[in-house]
Amino acid sequence: MQQPPLAAFFRALLAEPRKIGAIAPSGGRLARLMTSEIEPSAGKVLELGPGTGVFTRALLKRGLPARDLTLVELEARFIAPLQKRFPDVAVLQRDARELAAYKAELGLQAAIVSGLPFRNMPIEVVSAIVSGGFSLLEPGGAFYQFTYGHACSVPEDVLVALGLKSNKLGRVRLNFPPASVFRISRKQE
Ligand SMILES: C[S@@+](CC[C@H](N)C(=O)[O-])C[C@H]1O[C@@H](n2cnc3c(N)ncnc32)[C@H](O)[C@@H]1O
């Protein structure tokens, strides 16, 4: 696996600061916490907003087979670097707001790992992405999301309306900026 293409990150950040929503790629500690519950034998995993691939690398390091991982990234500048760095992983240039429409193509997923900048998105968009994500998640599947805040970046109203709950896995102080990780799952499970 090659090193992260940081130049691509900073070019994208300068051009599209709201879409990127971070001043630096996530650190290794945050990546380990984000992926800590995903076993190598979990099944299919979807990553949203991989950017330079910090979480992708952590998932592969945990032993998840590359064939089980699909990346959905909107920003064109990240696509070729991701394909080069992870040649055996499916990299799709798609909009996470349209997830429900990709159900037939992607199939059911065991987990979703999201680096999307929810705090920069309108509540309707967050709701559409989470709802679309759960339409792809098999029973017992979980959606992992980080945020620089202390509270879950999916508002409680949205969780309740979608029949979901959030649990905080922890906070990584030694990330820049510090970040919290949440597991979002169905309430009735
Ligand atoms: C905060 S960066 C996270 C990058 C990486 N996961 C990390 O933690 O370092 C947000 C990523 O989400 C992507 N993104 C933003 N909106 C998106 C959308 N609607 N669909 C797919 N990707 C999106 C951005 O292009 C960027 O790569």
**Tokens 């999307």 found at:** 116
Structure confidence at residue 1 as a pLDDT band (50, 70, 90): low
Phi–psi pair at 62, nearest 5 degrees:
-70, -15
Summarised one tens digit per residue, pLDDT across range 148-168 is 999 999 999 999 999 999 999
Determine which of 21-25, 76-80, 175-179 has the lowest per-residue pLDDT on average: 21-25
Domain span including residue 93: 5-186
The domain total for the chain is 1
Distance from residue 177's CA to the centre of ligand 1 (Å): 16
CB 21 less than 6 A from any atom of ligand 1: yes
Structure confidence at residue 22 as a pLDDT band (50, 70, 90): confident
Amino acid occupying residue 65: P
CB 54 less than 6 A from any atom of ligand 1: yes
Predicted TM-score (pTM) of the model is: 0.95
- Using the predicted structure, report yes or no on whether residue 5 has a pLDDT greater than 80: no
Structure confidence at residue 6 as a pLDDT band (50, 70, 90): confident
Q: Hey, what are 100's tokens?
A: 């429900």
Summarised one tens digit per residue, pLDDT across range 108-131 is 999 999 999 999 999 999 999 999
Closest C-alpha residue for ligand 1 atom 8: 26
Report the chain's mean pLDDT, rounded to a whole number: 95
**How many whole angstroms separate alpha carbon 157 and alpha carbon 162?**
9
Q: What is the pLDDT of residue 12?
A: 87
Helices 6-15, 76-85: axis angle to 10 degrees equals: 170
**What's 79's DSSP letter?**
H
CA distances from 50 to 115, 140, 165, 177, 187 (A): 6, 23, 24, 17, 27
CATH of the domain at 44: 3.40.50.150
Summarised one tens digit per residue, pLDDT across range 47-64 is 999 999 999 999 999 999
